[in-house]
Amino acid sequence: MSVPPPPEPITGARLLFSLDPAVSHLNHGSFGAVPIVVQRAQQRLRDEMEADPLRFFTRGLVDRITHTRRHLAGFLGADPDGAALTTNATTGVAVVLQSLGLRPGDEVLTTDHGYGAVEFSVRRECRRTGATHRVLRLPLAATDEEVVQIVRAGLRPGRTRLLVIDQITSATAWLLPAAAIAGVAREQGVSVLVDAAHAPGMLPATVQSIGADFWVGNLHKWGYAPRGTALLVVARPWRERIEPLVVSWEQEAGFPGRVEWQATADYTAWLSAPVGLYTLRSLGLDRVREHNAALAAYGQRVVGDALGVSPADLPDPGGPTVAMRIIPLPAGLATSIDAARALRERIAERLATQVAVTAWDGRGWLRLCGQVYNSPDEYERLAARLPALLAQR
């Protein structure tokens, strides 16, 4: 079967990273990869912190955090006064959930594409407060209009307090119509939390235009920031109701300071995050985005082809902008979380290739990412060797 050609490589980009050259890293989506220049920037900040900890923490650190937050919010098209730096998307979700004041009779609605840890968080908050958790099923083949219809029909105004949707789903790499969904929820008086863990750096800046009550995105995936860097964006009416998970010295300062200041912690990841964005911009934001999405699409085709999946059966719910693609695995493989984890580890060990393997909707899926440090031959090598590995059950 003929496969469309891969994108032009971004020459030399691999040298920006310190990734093990003996491994194919086709899973940027899970934990990202930090460019060397960003690692160095963070190390310089740590050196400064260790040279005089008292000075580092007490002279201007809050202002430096504010400056960084404004920079990141500007990059993401978010209101800088409505944004708070946080450690990761999971923390941002937990901050929102426990600020809602859920009560018995309230309901939180998620979808069957939601991220596992976020689902656990919703479940726990519902158990703690007596609220209920309901999961809305979204068929992978649904169009944007159908998704909006399903959501509209699924909301129970007066009862549904929060709808949690992903901007880009993890297991299925689906770009959901977040703005349209938020619009429908708004019409019905339901608050919306957009889990945008994968959006910063991958999608153009759009936070404000989505119009969600809450949005949280990781900079440490596609934004090349050190791990532990995320931005929680909160609509104006909610800001003063947002409570941090840990109360510390900025509590009286209100939002966002009270969310950001988490006592004695290492704030150097946040402060070096702008260097990650600088790296992205230096490579050319559009060029990186187009390259990564096209390379993931190429990888999906060559690996899908090798596994005997026809192009018509390769899902494309992310469209041309998402740098992650999924491939259905042969029936019976990786159908549970444990089996998916075991298969991912077997692929890593035997084929020296890092991929994501997920169990979703009763079957196993392989998720491949494209990033500037990847090249077409890495997907071709996987395609050549994966069928034999999967055949050894």
> Interface residues with ligand PLP (CB under 6 A)?
30, 88-90, 115, 117-118, 166, 170, 195, 197-198, 218
Least distance to ligand PLP, CB of residue 157, Å: 26
Residue with Cβ nearer ligand PLP (90 or 371): 90
Residue with Cβ nearer ligand PLP (75 or 115): 115
Residue with Cβ nearer ligand PLP (118 or 383): 118
Least distance to ligand PLP, CB of residue 89, Å: 4
Residue with Cβ nearer ligand PLP (91 or 300): 91
Residue with Cβ nearer ligand PLP (3 or 269): 269
Least distance to ligand PLP, CB of residue 270, Å: 14
Residue with Cβ nearer ligand PLP (56 or 115): 115
Least distance to ligand PLP, CB of residue 228, Å: 8
Least distance to ligand PLP, CB of residue 196, Å: 8
Residue with Cβ nearer ligand PLP (32 or 82): 32
Instruction: Please give, one letter per residue, the 3-state secondary structure of the chain.
Output: CCCCCCCCCCCCHHHHCCCCCCCEECCHHHHCCCCHHHHHHHHHHHHHHHHCHHHHHHCCHHHHHHHHHHHHHHHHCCCHHHEEEECCHHHHHHHHHHHCCCCCCCEEEEECCCCHHHHHHHHHHHHHHCCEEEEECCCCCCCHHHHHHHHHHHCCCCCEEEEEEECECCCCCCECCHHHHHHHHHHCCCEEEEEECCCECCECCCHHHHCCCEEEEECCCCCCCCCCCEEEEECHHHHHHCCCCCCCCCHHHCCCHHHHCCCCCCCHHHHHHHHHHHHHHHHCHHHHHHHHHHHHHHHHHHHHHHCCCCHHHCCCCCHHHCCEEEEECCCCCCCCHHHHHHHHHHHHHHHCEECEEEEECCEEEEEEECCCCCCHHHHHHHHHHHHHHHHCC
Give every CB contact of residue 111 below 8 A, 6+ residues apart in sequence.
Answer: 135, 136, 137, 138, 164, 165, 166, 169
> Contact 356/366 with Cβ under 8 angstroms?
yes
Least distance to ligand PLP, CB of residue 220, Å: 6
Residue 37's closest CA among 20, 19, 16?
Answer: 16
Least distance to ligand PLP, CB of residue 97, Å: 13
Least distance to ligand PLP, CB of residue 45, Å: 21
Least distance to ligand PLP, CB of residue 115, Å: 3
Residue with Cβ nearer ligand PLP (30 or 209): 30
Residue with Cβ nearer ligand PLP (72 or 118): 118
